[in-house]
Structures are given as C-alpha cells and as structure tokens.
Structure 1
Amino acid sequence: MGLFDGLQRQLRSVIEWQQPAPNALFEQWTDNGDEIKNASTLIVGPGQGCIFVYRGKVQAVFDTEGSYNLQTDNIPFWTTIASFMQFFESQYKVGIYFYRKTVILDQKWGTTSMIKYLDPTYKFPVGLRAYGNYSYRLADPAGFFVNVVGEQKAFTTEQLRTVIVARLGQPLADFLATSRFGYLDIDTNREEIAAGVLQKLLPMFAELGFAITDFRIEGTDFDEDTLKRINRIADMTAEAQAAKEVGLDYARIQQLEAMREAARNEGGGAGMGMGLGAGISFGQNIAQAMNNPAAGGATSAPVAADPMEKLAQLKKMFEAELITAEEYAEKKKSILDGM
C-alpha cells in the first residue's frame, strides 16, 4: 500500500488550491510533497490567483482563472525554469503560492491607542478612540508577496488586519488636526472623516501591494478627561443661560452660589456663626438682586417693582436650582408680606 501511494504521488500532475481556509489570504502549495512534473496542469479557480517563485524570485503570476498546461501552453517563464532543472529535479525547488483575489469584506478595526489632537472650538486637548470596518483586495499580488508575505508558507486575513490597524492611528490624527472638526462635530461627520482618512491610507497601502476598497467609522469614544471638560462647559453654559433668564449676569450667580455654599457648610460654634452671617448676607444679596438686577451687571434688565414680577423671577431662580426650597419660601413670604 505504501509503495502504491508513493507511486501515485509521483504520477500526480494537477496543481490546484482545494478548499482554502476562510481566513487564508496566501498559502504555499505542497500537497503531501508532490513535485512539479513535466506535464503538470495548473488549475486556478474562481477568485484565485497563483504565483510561481524560483530561486527566491517571483517568476510569474497567474491572475486569470482557468487551466494551464505547463508543458504545452505558451508560458515564457516556464522555459526559463525548465532550463535550470534536469527532468524537473533540482536542488532549487519551485515555490507555488495561491492567493485570494476576491474582495475581503467587513474586516473590523479599532484604534490601538488614544488619538490626541487639539479641539478647534474649545482649545483644549482631546483624546479619542474610534472603531469601524473596512474591505480590501490584493492589487499587486507579487508586490504583496515580496513586501509582506516573504518566506512565510501561509498568510491570513488576521495577520493583515494587524498590519492595517497598526497604521491607522497617525492618518486619523493628521486628518482630525487639519479638518477642524471639534468635539461636537465628530459623530455627525463620520462619513466625511472616513473618506478623508481613506485618501491618506490608499498610497500607504498601495506600496505594500493591496488596496482598501471601503473604510467606515462606526463609532467613537472620548477619554475621561475630555468628557469632564465638556460636561463642565455644558454646566457653565446652562448656569449662564439660567442667569440670563432671571436678569443676572453669570458672575453674580457664581457669587451667590459661593455664599450659599458657605452658609450650608456649618460646623461647630464658629461655623454656625459664619454660616448664619453668610446666610444673612446671602438673603440680602438675593433681595438686592431681585430689587435691582442692574447691580449684577444686567444693565438692560428692567427693575422688578411689581410684586408679581418679583415672584415670577423668584420662581425662575428656584426652578433653575439657584436657590433652595427654604430660601424660596422665605423670600416668597417676604414679598407677599410686603404687598
């Protein structure tokens, strides 16, 4: 049986890539030690290509599916190889590598580290992570074989993903730095950002022998420091808007807020005294602000002489959480008592 198997291998003459693994991108043909015979037939299946390597150099690339008779078909490189080999036996073996010619779809990517750039609106550093998917194909199989695969017997889509992801960060950072997209613009302009990054990736990967056919950004995530800064800006903006609604400027609101915090921070006899004094001062300042908003810097706001207007302003301050429920009730009673 062993003798028959050995003889059968010697008589085989068909070279083909049968049932390649789903993640196979490049794979060397070995087929249990078969060697090329003088009348071998090469079969290149749909979506496949084949590279012949002799003495460390790429001698030919078959990029069209079909069947090739290596003895009779007009293949210039074959004559060159045959001249180096006596009866197809030589110390230099021919390397046959099949590769996947189809587009590799929906490969996932994500930035490996935080991308830093200066936000053009708020003028502070932003830390961003992004993720998405891409598709690609081998545009120059021989170049890819020489520049990426090298002496490896197989090369997978996972290996190429590592190569691609490692090179995404810098083009993405460069584009964000020059595009002037701020924190609030990132998510609404993901398609434009992806298109801009793709233009930076194409020449880079063309040198390696493959082309990105589709590049998408599915989502982004900002670091904790960036989120803290943004939330602080949002809070200050909301407070400033609330101050405007009650006829005070933001500086005056901050002063009142500080005094209220001092009044709340009671501890021991001295603290109670300070709290009481701050509370009285706070009440006086509220009264002053309500009776004369112009003193707080809002020169355009009218003086609220009508008790109904005072009550309406007082309610707005309470709803904006600028005063507590106790302060609201006390001041409301004072206004009503003065009617």
Structure 2
Amino acid sequence: MAIIDVIKFNGIANRNWLVYRYPGESFVYGTQLIVGEGQIAVFVKGGKALDFFSAGTYTLNAPNIPILQSLINIPFGGRTPFTAEVFFINKTVKLDVLWGTSDPISLIDPKYLVRMRVRAFGQFGIRITDYRVFLTEIIGAVGDDQIVKYDAVLNFFKGVTVTKVKTIIADTIINKKISVLEIAPLLEDLSETSQESLSGEFERFGIQIVNFNLSSINFPDEDFETINKILGEKAAFDIIGDNRYQVKRSFDVMEAAAGNEGGGSIASAGMGLGLGAGAGLAMGNLFSNTAGRVMNNPVKGLSCKKCGEMNEAGAKFCCSCGEKIATAQIECYSCSTTVDENAKFCSNCGKSMLNKTCPGCHTENKPGTKFCSDCGTKLEE
C-alpha cells in the first residue's frame, strides 16, 4: 500500500457534503495535513475519534497527534509508517434544511367544530458541535461511502422532527383551544417550542439546531370551503343569539362520526364520545338558559317599525332609535277582549273595531254603536 505524504480535501462543488472519508489509511511520521476553512479533520483508530485539527497546515508528529501517538506508540525519528482513518467534517452552519409533515394531522377545530386536515412546513439550521460523538454515533450507520451528504444523516431525524412538531401543533389547537384559522400569530412561539423540544434529540448525536422555523400551517381548500359554509351559518345564529350554533355543530360532528363506518380510529372514537358529552352538556345549558330567560322575561314586545330592534314588553320608546313603539289597548265592545287600539277586528270574536260614520250627519261613533250619538240616525251593523 502506498505511503501518503500529504492529506487534504479540496471540497466538492456544492455545500451539501457533511463528511469526507479520506481514501487511505497508511501514513508516515512527518506527513503534512492541510485542513481548509470550514473543515475539521479527525483521526480515527479502532472506531474511536482521537485527534482533531481545525483550519491550517500541520506536520504530523508527536506533539500534533498526542492521543494517536499514545495509542499506537509511534517510534521517534525517521518516517515511521502508521495506520489511521482521517475524516473531514463540514463545520459550517447549514441553514436550509427543509422539513414537512408527510401526512396531515386530523383533528377537530375547537371553534368551528369541523374536522380539519392540518399540514405544517418549515426549515431549520444545524451544525456539528461534538465531532467525537457525531462520528461515533452517526457515521458508523451510513456505511463506507467516501462522501456523506447532509440528506443521508438528516433522514435519521425526519421521524422525530415531524412527530414532535405535530404533537406541539395538536396540543395548541385541541388543549389550548386555538382555531386553525387563528394559529398564524403563534408561528414564532410554536417555532421556539419545537426547537426546545428537538434540541435534545439532535444534541445526543453531537448536532446543534441553530434555528427552527415553522413557516406554514395550512389545510386543503375543501376544508376551507367547509369553514366558509360554517361561518355563514354562524352569522345567522349570531343574529338569533344563544348557544344554538355550538349545539348544532356538536350534533353535526356526531352525525358525521356515526356515518363513518369503519373509517375512524380509536382516537377518533374517543374524540367523538367527548364531543357527544360536550353536546349534551351544551344542550342542557341551552335549555336551562332559555328557561331562565322565559321566567325572567316572559313576553317580548313588538319590534320597532323603524329599525326592527326587539324591545321588552311595556317599552314606550325603542331602545335603539328612540321611535315610539307603545300601542294603547282597548276592550272589544262585544266580548271585552283587550286588543290594540289600531286593530280593525277583535281577535277573539271577530267584531269590527272601526268607528262608525253616521250617514246623516257624518259624526264618528264608537264601534258597536247602534244609533248616532248626534242625530239619532240608526247605524248599519
């Protein structure tokens, strides 16, 4: 095997390389080592990472390779041969590591009570900080390739990255009751939480997460169309008031779950049961609140003819626009039923409530009058 006098790595065309395994293991005492900017050279013997070299030019001798020297006991003097592996590690920060959820997070939006399929995307940056741990834990798992790229190593972390981010998003939406449509302002906080949660997983292998960005949380267009429909329904229920919208959505979800034969998971079934209980409670509260309002406010007055606002019984003027809304009450001359003074017929017996005009003197007479109060002319029935 040829003896190598110079060890160096000029790099490759792109920055996607992470580790370069130098093609040779036989060196001599006095070999020159050249390490470029942004590189770390590591001597490995027997699977153990030993001496490290940052950017610069070195002559391999006892002072420069103390750990390797103590392990193989290179004789002093001359160009004594020895064997070792040399790895060059890219120590620059890689900021464009992309990640995304391969499958959506299926959950119930807490505000609109509709099933959503949430996806998340972003990017993060990493750098190697503990070279000994990194080489020991990771490089042995990537085979004997001369060049190891970032993608090969990052594949090991895809699963844990997506799992932790999905858990954090689901916890925020379900337990903290933040609607998917209102989660955008929390992207920065969710990014920080995700970085804190993932840092330990990467540091175990000598890798530091420099930053972590959760840049997008979205869902399919058809889910957004469903939300738009629900928003329209909610606007109508808001006009009516009460909690009937929440109750309706709860029953809609329960009905949809009941019709999804064999398609739901155990988690979905549990969520359905929870919604069922919530719907029952909401319905009970609705009936209780409605009964309370009926007892406290048994009758609603007429709506204002000018602005349409509903006013309490007995109100004389509209609480919204000030229009006079009080209507005087009179008794039916025939059956004594109380009717509005403007009523044309009695709501009980059907008798006319209009004044009678005398055909002789044109005097106005009260309803039910048989003879004119002024001239005595008999009035028509």
The bucket for the TM-score relative to the shorter chain is 0.5 to 0.7
Where do 1:221-240 residues align within 5 Å?
A: 221-223=218-220, 226-227=223-224, 229-240=226-237
Where is the helix percentage greater, Structure 1 or Structure 2?
Answer: 1
Matched-pair contact (CA < 8 Å) for 2:25–2:86: no
Are 1:143 and 2:133 counterparts? Answer: yes
Where do 1:259-270 residues align within 5 Å?
A: none
Q: Which residue pairs with 2:10 in the alignment?
A: 18
**Distance in 2 between the 1:299 and 1:110 partners?**
58
Matched-pair contact (CA < 8 Å) for 1:205–1:211: yes
Q: Which residue pairs with 2:157 in the alignment?
A: 164
Paired amino acid for 1:163: F
Deviates more, 1:42-51 or 1:108-117: 108-117
Q: Which residue pairs with 1:259 in the alignment?
A: none
Q: Which residue pairs with 2:195 in the alignment?
A: 198
Q: Which residue pairs with 2:39 in the alignment?
A: 48
Q: CA deviation at 1:218?
A: 1.8
Distance 1:305 1:79, change over 3 A: closer
Where do 1:116-195 residues align within 5 Å?
A: 116-122=106-112, 125-150=115-140, 151-153=143-145, 154-179=147-172, 180=176, 181-195=178-192
Q: CA deviation at 1:299?
A: 6.4
Residue-by-residue CA offset, 1:219-249 (whole Å, 9 max, x unaligned): 12224675455334212112224x55xx9x9
Q: Which residue pairs with 1:110 in the alignment?
A: 100
Q: Per the alignment, in what secondary structure is the counterpart of residue 214 of structure 1?
A: strand
Q: CA deviation at 1:188?
A: 1.9
**Distance in 2 between the 1:239 and 1:309 partners?**
16
Distance 1:141 1:120, change over 3 A: farther
Are 1:68 and 2:68 counterparts? Answer: no
Q: Which residue pairs with 2:207 in the alignment?
A: 210
Q: CA deviation at 1:196?
A: 0.8
**Distance in 1 between the 2:104 and 2:198 partners?**
19
Paired amino acid for 2:236: E
Q: CA deviation at 1:130?
A: 0.9
Q: CA deviation at 1:174?
A: 2.3
**Distance in 2 between the 1:100 and 1:194 partners?**
26
Q: CA deviation at 1:73?
A: 2.9
Are 1:303 and 2:294 counterparts? Answer: no
Q: Which residue pairs with 1:27 in the alignment?
A: 20
Q: Which residue pairs with 2:341 in the alignment?
A: none
Q: CA deviation at 1:113?
A: 1.7
Deviates more, 1:127-136 or 1:144-153: 144-153
Paired amino acid for 1:303: S
Distance 1:123 1:142, change over 3 A: farther
Q: CA deviation at 1:118?
A: 4.9
Matched-pair contact (CA < 8 Å) for 1:38–1:71: yes
**Distance in 2 between the 1:159 and 1:298 partners?**
73
Q: Per the alignment, in what secondary structure is the counterpart of residue 49 of structure 1?
A: strand
**Distance in 2 between the 1:57 and 1:25 partners?**
19
TM-score, scaled relative to structure 1: 0.63
Q: CA deviation at 1:213?
A: 0.6
User: Is there any run of 5+ residues in structure 2 with no aligned partner, and where?
Assistant: 249-296, 310-381
User: Is there any run of 5+ residues in structure 1 with no aligned partner, and where?
Assistant: 1-5, 255-296, 311-339
Matched-pair contact (CA < 8 Å) for 1:117–1:173: no
Matched-pair contact (CA < 8 Å) for 1:114–1:127: yes
Paired amino acid for 1:51: V
Q: Which residue pairs with 1:100 in the alignment?
A: 90
Amino-acid identity (%): 23
Q: CA deviation at 1:204?
A: 1.0
- Structure with greater contact order relative to length (CA < 8 Å, sep ≥ 6): 1
Q: Per the alignment, in what secondary structure is the counterpart of residue 189 of structure 1?
A: helix
Deviates more, 1:209-218 or 1:70-79: 70-79
Task: Count residues in correspondence.
Answer: 249
Q: Per the alignment, in what secondary structure is the counterpart of residue 208 of structure 1?
A: coil
**Distance in 2 between the 1:133 and 1:298 partners?**
60
Distance 1:250 1:195, change over 3 A: closer
Distance 1:169 1:84, change over 3 A: same
Which structure has the larger Rg over C-alpha atoms? 2
Residue-by-residue CA offset, 1:106-135 (whole Å, 9 max, x unaligned): 222111221244544445654311111111
Matched-pair contact (CA < 8 Å) for 1:239–1:250: no
Q: Tell me how large the CA RMSD over aligned residues is.
A: 3.6
Deviates more, 1:123-132 or 1:142-151: 123-132
**Distance in 2 between the 1:250 and 1:121 partners?**
14
